[in-house]
Chains A and B, each alone.
Chain A
Amino acid sequence: MPGDGVLVLGAAGFLGQHVVDALRAEGVEPRCGRRARGNVLGLRARRATMVVADLDEPATLDAAMAGCGTVVHVAGHYPRLSTDRDATLARGLRQTDAVVRAARAAGVRRLVYVSSTATVRPVPGRPSAEADRYPAPPGVGVYHDLKWAMEARLDGVADLDVRVALPSGCVGPGDLRFGTAGMLLALARGDDPPHPDGTVSLVDPRDAAVGIARLARVDDAPRRLVLSAVDARLHALLVRLADRYGVAPPRPPLDPEAAVALADRAEAEVAGTPRRPAMSREIVDLALHSAAVDGTLATRALGVRYRPFAETLDDFDAWARRLGALPPSPPEARP
C-alpha cells in the first residue's frame, strides 16, 4: 500500500548524504537506500534508517520502496570511465527502468531524479536554464549522452510525478572520492594538474540538497530545476585557487584536442582495474562543452539560497584537512 515515506536511493553517496540532512531539515526522516556493500560510515554516523536498494538488484527495490510515496533518486549511473558508450548507456537505462518499475509496483506517486547540468544545452548570449534541452543526445561524450538518455527515458513516464534536479559540479565537504574536487585537491597539493579551459559551473552540495529535498516536498514545484551557484572559466579559477593555497600558478590550459587525447589515454591506462584515471574524459567534456547556467529558478520557486563560494571552499578545506587529504596548515591567502 502506498504511504508517505520517502526513500533516498544513493543515500550513502556524497550528494545523497547531504540530501538526507536536507530532508531532515524539512521535517522528513527518510529511508536510506544503500548497496549491500559500500561505505556507510556517514549514514551510520547520522543514525539513519538504512535499507538495501541496489539498482542492479531490482528485487531489492521493491522492498525498499514499500510504503513510500516519494522516491529521491540520487543513484543515477555515474560511470568511472567513458570508454564503452553502449554498455554504459545500457546499464544506465536498465537501472532507470528498474526504478520506475519498482516505483509503480509500490504505488510511489513522486519521483525526484537527480541528473546533471550536462543535459542543459548551451545557448549563445545568455546563461542556459531549465527550458534549454538537447533535442537529441548531445554527442560530446559518454557522460553527456548517458545523462540525456536517462532523463529522456523518464520523459515517457506519465503516471508518476517526475521531477528532475540538475545540479552542476558539486564541490564541498563530504566528497570522499574527490570527484569534481579532484583537480582542486591536486592543485592545492602542488601537483599542477593538466586541464583544458572552458566554463565550469559549481554548487555547494548542501545547497543543491536543499533544492532536491524541496522538489520532494513541495507540490507546486518546477518539473526541471537547475541547481548551480557560480560559473567560472576553469583556468582562471585554478589561478585564483593557486593563490589561495600558496602554490605556483597552474600551467597554461591544454588545447581541446590535447585534453581529450590525454583523458582518453588516462582512461585506457586504468581500464580493467578499479583505479580512477588521472584525468577523466567526463571532466574534460564538461569543461569543453558547457556554458554558464542560471540557477535562480531554484531560489525564486523553492527558496534555495546559494552560499558564497568562499564559504564552500573554507568548509571543503577544513573537511579535507581533517581527513588528511590536505596538509594541516591553513592557507595563507584567500581570494
Chain B
Amino acid sequence: MNEPALETRIFAILSNLSAVPAADIRRADRLREDLGMDSVASMELISMLSEEFAIDVELEEAARIVDVEGLLTLAERRIGDG
C-alpha cells in the first residue's frame, strides 16, 4: 500500500471519530489537544485502525500514541510487518 492511500484512510477514520474534517488534519496534530479526543476515543480510534488494516495492537502500545504522526508510524510499521 502506498503512503498517501494509507494516510487518506487513516485521516478518514480520524475525521469520523473527532468530527474534524479530514482536510484540516495534520500529521503533527495531537489527538487530545488538537483533535479533542479523550483517552477512550483514542483507544476506539486505534481499535478501528486495527480492524480496518487487520493488524494487532497491544493496549500498552495504543496508550502511548498521542498524535497523528505516531498513529501513522504505527500503521506503516505494522502493515509493513504484515
Q: Are B62 and A41 in contact (CB under 8 A)?
A: yes
A300 at the binding interface (Cβ < 8 Å): no
B-facing mask of A264-278, CB < 8 A → 1, else 0? 000000000011100
B-side residues, CB < 8 A to A, are 38-41, 43-44, 46-48, 50-51, 56-60, 62-64
A239 lies within 8 A of chain B by Cβ:
no
- How far apart are the CA atoms of A25 and B38 in the complex, in Å? 34
Which residue in A177, A275, A323 is a CB contact (below 8 Å) of B60?
Answer: A323
- Measured between alpha carbons, how far is A265 from B62 in the docked complex, in Å? 33
Candidates B40, B58, B64; contact of A176 at CB < 8 Å: B40
Classify the interface of chain A: helix, strand, loop or mixed.
Answer: loop
Bound CA span A317–B60, Å = 14
Q: Are A274 and B59 in contact (CB under 8 A)?
A: no
Q: Closest approach, in angstroms, between the C-beta of B37 and any C-beta of chain A?
A: 9
Interface size classification for chain A: 10 to 19
**Cβ-defined contact, A45 with B51, below 8 A:** no
Residues of A within 8 A of B (CB): 37-42, 44-45, 176-177, 274-276, 322-325
Give chain A residues whose Cβ lies under 8 Å from the Cβ of B58. Answer: 41, 45
Q: Nearest A residue to B45 by beta-carbon distance?
A: A39
Complex Cα distance A45/B25, Å? 29
Taking the closest CB of chain A, its distance from the CB of B72, in whole angstroms, is 18
Using Cβ atoms and an 8 Å threshold, which residues of chain B touch A276?
A: 38
Q: Complex: how many Å from CA A275 to CA B40? A: 10
- B36 smallest CB distance to A (angstroms): 9
Chain B residue nearest to A42 (CB atoms) is B59
